[in-house]
């Protein structure tokens, strides 16, 4: 398979926020104010005060009473959460605190027991919400018979990524996976599988990226590349929610969330929290 060769892995054609749809032309043109056919104000009437513009962009994530139970065990207590568009959020907590449960519900992979949520204004599990999300899992799954490049092509074409070939080349160069691009990712080590998953997550457009423990198994090249990709996507306007135990990355986020036993134990500025205690599940009042 012939593929373009990238001379610069950090060119401007980079992953990030989905382009807004092009407005369709209306079949009935609007009549400008004051033109023939428009309603004129009565003589002496006071001109109407223009209404204030109401922001039409919904929050990236809104959860209301979102909850997950397995029998009597509560994996995630009822959670109210709002993440604004363009925020970079780090999600921390001990193993079993509910981080993966929350992310999988937001992707639509896991049905909530109670409550509801929207992604960019669309209900969980809807085609629109799924199209808005790119999900980087802690346990990536691959097709048995597709190479890395074939995975990238499949995902990019599925999401109608413009210029995907060059973007794919840039990504595999950036994360150090170029020599293995024609190999099957199912045969890779843990670290190489994670690199392949990173390329697949960023080769398509997205509004919201949900990430679960992305640094496990990565070497320095992969880690540095992933941090740069997060920075580029965030700069392009994407919303990031990253669950991680890599506490050195917390300072790069706008907001810190912590879960403890399925409950939200912290929601605030990263520099105002003891992230080590929160990750270990120590309540804030005891910190």
Write the pLDDT tens digit of every residue in 188-225. Answer: 999 999 999 999 999 999 999 999 999 989 999 999 99
Per-residue pLDDT, 23? 33
The share of the chain scoring above pLDDT 70, in percent, equals 78
Do residues 61 and 132 touch, judged by C-beta distance below 8 A? no
Q: Check residue 73 and give its pLDDT.
A: 94
Q: How far apart are CA 83 and CA 102, in angstroms?
A: 13
What percent of the residues of the chain are helix, what percent strand, and what percent coil, each to the nearest 5? 30, 20, 45
Q: pLDDT at position 79, please?
A: 97
Question: In the chain, pLDDT over 90 holds for what percent of residues?
Answer: 70
Compute the C-alpha angle 149/246/102, nearest 5°: 75
Which stretch of DSSP H or E encloses residue 127?
A: helix 127-132
pLDDT tens digits, 74-133: 999 999 999 999 999 999 999 999 999 999 999 999 999 999 999 999 999 999 999 999
What pLDDT is recorded for position 156?
Answer: 97
Residue 111: predicted pLDDT: 96
The pLDDT value recorded for residue 31 is 32
What's the confidence (pLDDT) of residue 140? 93
pLDDT given at position 283: 61
Confidence at residue 187, expressed as pLDDT on a 0 to 100 scale: 97
Are 188 and 151 a contacting pair, CB within 8 Å?
no
Strand pairing report for 255-260 and 88-93:
parallel
* Distance (Å, whole) CA 200 – CA 172: 10
Mean pLDDT of all residues in 176-197: 97
Statement: residue 161 has pLDDT above 90: yes
Q: What pLDDT score was predicted for residue 14?
A: 44
Residue 283, burial from CB neighbour count under 10 angstroms (0-12, 13-18, 19+): middle
- Express each pLDDT in 41-84 by its tens digit: 444 444 444 444 444 567 999 999 999 999 999 999 999 999 99
Question: Which domains, ranges and CATH numbers included, belong to the chain?
Answer: 61-286 (3.40.50.300)
pLDDT tens across 232-267, in order?
A: 999 999 999 999 988 888 989 999 999 999 999 999
Rounded to an integer, the average pLDDT of 134-147 is 96
Q: 227 vs 34, which has greater pLDDT?
A: 227
pLDDT bin (cut points 50, 70, 90) of residue 1 is very low
Query: What pTM did the predictor assign?
Result: 0.80
Q: What pLDDT is stored for residue 276 in this prediction?
A: 84
Q: What is the pLDDT of residue 9?
A: 33
Distance between alpha carbon 244 and the CA centroid of its chain, in Å? 14
Identify the band that residue 281 occupies on the pLDDT scale cut at 50, 70 and 90.
Answer: confident
Q: Is the pLDDT of residue 287 over 80?
A: no
């Amino acid at each position: 398979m012939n593929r373009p060769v990238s001379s610069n892995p950090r060119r401007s054609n980079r992953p990030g926020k989905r382009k807004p749809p092009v407005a369709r032309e209306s079949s009935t043109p609007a009549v400008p104010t004051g033109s023939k056919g428009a309603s004129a104000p009565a003589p002496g009437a006071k001109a109407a005060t223009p209404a204030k513009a109401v922001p039409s962009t919904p929050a990236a994530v809104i959860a209301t009473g979102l909850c997950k139970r397995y029998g009597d065990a509560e994996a995630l207590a009822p959670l109210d959460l709002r993440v604004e568009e363009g925020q970079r959020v780090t999600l921390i907590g001990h193993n079993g605190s509910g981080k993966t449960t929350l992310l999988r519900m937001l992707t639509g992979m896991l049905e909530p027991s109670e409550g509801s949520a929207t992604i960019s204004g669309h209900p969980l599990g809807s085609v629109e919400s799924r199209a808005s999300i790119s999900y980087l899992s802690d346990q990536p799954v691959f097709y048995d018979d597709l190479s890395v490049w074939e995975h990238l092509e499949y995902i990019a074409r599925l999401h109608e990524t413009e210029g995907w070939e060059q973007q794919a080349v840039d990504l595999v160069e950036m994360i150090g996976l170029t020599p293995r691009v024609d190999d099957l990712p199912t045969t890779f080590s843990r670290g190489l599988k994670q690199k392949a998953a990173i390329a697949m997550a960023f080769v398509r457009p997205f509004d919201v990226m949900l990430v679960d423990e992305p640094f496990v198994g990565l070497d320095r090249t992969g880690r540095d590349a992933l941090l740069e990709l997060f920075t580029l996507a965030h700069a392009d306007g994407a919303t990031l929610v990253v669950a991680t135990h890599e506490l050195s990355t917390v300072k790069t986020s706008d907001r810190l969330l912590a879960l403890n036993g399925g409950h939200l134990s912290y929601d605030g500025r990263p520099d105002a929290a003891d992230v080590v205690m929160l990750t270990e599940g120590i309540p804030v009042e005891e910190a």
